[in-house]
Structure formats: C-alpha cells, structure tokens
Amino acid sequence: MRDKQYVVLGLGVFGSTVTKTLSQYGCEVLAIDKDPECVQRVSEFATKAVIGDITDQFFLADLGVSEFDVGIVATGNHLEESLLGVLNLKEIGVPYIIAKAKNKRFKLVLEKVGADRVVRPEKEMGERVARSLLRKNITDLIEVDENYCIVEMIAHPTWINHSLMQLDLRKNFGINILGKRDLITHKLEISVDPDYKIKPDDHFLMIAEREKIENFDYLLIK
C-alpha cells in the first residue's frame, strides 16, 4: 500500500512548515505558491515545488493534483483565494481537504464550501500554550484527534491511598487508565491491578477527552 501524497497550496510560514514536516517524514509533497521566493524556500525539501496560481483549476489539474490524497490550503489570510483553492481541490477530486482560516467567519465559510477540516493555527497555539501553563499534574499530552488525547499524569493528591476500583475514574471523570510507569526503571506497566493502592508520585498513562482531563487537572479538582 502506497503512502499518502500531499499537495500544499500556499507557502507562507504555515504552509512551509507543513511541507517541511511532511517531507522530513518521507512523504511525497507537491508545494505550490505564486511567489517565487516562497517556492524556492521549500524546493530543497519538497518532492516538487512549483510557481503557480492556486485559483487556476486547469493549472492544478495539469499538475496531476487529482492523484493526491490530501490537499492543504494554507493561504488563510485571503478568503477568496482560500475559497477557490478549496473548491478547486474539491472539483478536481482530492478526497480530503484541510484549510487554514484566520478567523471564525472564514472557518465557517470554508467548511460550507467543502473543507473537511479547518484549522486556526494562531488561536489553537495560543490555547495550547495557555493550557500548558495551567497544568499541574500532566507531564505529557498527545492529541489523538480534535476531542481525545493520551496523557501521562502524576497521580492527583485526591487519588493517594485509594485504589483504581475505588476511584472509578471512567465513570466519574471519563478517564481510562492505560498503564502505570515505574519511576525507577521508567518502564510502562500496561496491566494495572484495580486494587492497587495509589502512591504519591505514581505516573499513569490514560486516554480521555482533552477538555475533561484538562479541566480535571487544573480547573475542577483542587
């Protein structure tokens, strides 16, 4: 089975970063922008970097964009250009389209014309930084999707000397324990005895809704 192919329309900071990151992981990436300097900047790592107008559907079709699996429209500051980019990819037949938007209104419009996912990088990064500053017990967090995350978290003070069975974290907080890390060996113990009495500084790996686990950590539980 072949790896997914990506086409990136617009090579500002966001588009260039997406292109570089995907390329570093060995993905095939076609990068397009009307600015020769932007194209030159990504040409060293993109599979192919092309100067051109992303609002020109015939130009995109001639490049074989219909063969790509994912399209990223990264021109979020100009609504008309973003709209045409999304529409062009949709009509050409790209199965999954991600678009950048600079505000909520742009996001709504891009979703209506067919973007499968719309991101607002500045807003999302601002929220992420703020959350990281507020965390008390979470030591690591990996987003699984827009709603769920896997976190490594120090046992909350209210857990100490209670068993997982007594706490019933799944029922009370929507938290599913995946494992416990041994602080001496740093190895992860996947199967945790429900009757195990939690000790101070125990580290647990868990999956939960991001909002619930973060609220649990720094908003609701003191």
pLDDT given for residue 133 in this prediction: 62
106 shares a domain with 25: yes
115's CB contacts (< 8 A; 6+ apart) are 73, 86, 97, 98, 99
pLDDT value, residue 146: 72
Closest CA to 8 of 63, 58, 128, 123: 63
Question: In terms of domains, do 20 and 67 share one?
Answer: yes
Does residue 128 form part of some domain? no
Number of domains in the chain: 2
**Domain CATH number, residue 190:** 3.30.70.1450
Is there a domain that residue 126 lies in? no
List the CATH number of the domain containing 92: 3.40.50.720
116 and 50 co-located in one domain: yes
Please indicate, yes or no, if residue 158 is contained in any of the structural domains: yes
Q: Are residues 11 and 82 in the same domain?
A: yes
Domain match, 76 and 34 both: yes
Classify residue 175: in a domain, yes or no.
yes
Residues 29 and 111 in one domain: yes
Structure tokens at 20: 């570089």
Say which residues have a Cβ less than 8 Å from residue 2's Cβ, sequence separation at least 6. none
Is residue 28 located within the same domain as residue 89?
A: yes
My answer on whether 10 and 113 are in the same domain is yes
In terms of phi and psi (left: phi > 0; alpha: psi -120 to 50; beta: otherwise), the region of 10 is left
DSSP 191: S
Taking only the tens of pLDDT, the chain with its 222 residues reads: 457 899 999 999 999 999 999 999 899 999 999 999 999 999 999 999 999 999 999 999 999 999 999 999 999 778 899 999 999 999 999 999 999 998 989 999 999 999 999 998 887 777 666 666 656 677 777 777 777 888 888 888 888 999 989 999 888 888 888 889 877 777 888 888 889 899 888 889 888 887 777 777 764 444
Query: Is residue 97, in this structure, part of any structural domain at all?
Result: yes
Residues 112 and 140 occupy one common structural domain? no
Answer yes or no: are the C-beta atoms of 29 and 63 closer than 8 Å. no
Pick the last residue of a domain from 121, 153, 186.
121
Residue 93 maps to a domain: yes
pLDDT at 222: 43
Give the pLDDT confidence score for residue 1 in this predicted structure. 47
The answer to whether residue 127 is domain-embedded is no
Q: What is the pLDDT of residue 184?
A: 75
Residues 74 and 150 both lie in one domain: no
DSSP 143-174: ESSSSEEEEEEEPPGGGTT-BHHHH-HHHHH-
**Rounded to two decimals, what is the model's pTM?**
0.69
Parent domain of 46:
5-121
Same domain, 142 and 109: no
Last residue of a domain, one of 74, 100, 121: 121
Pair 9, 56 in one domain: yes
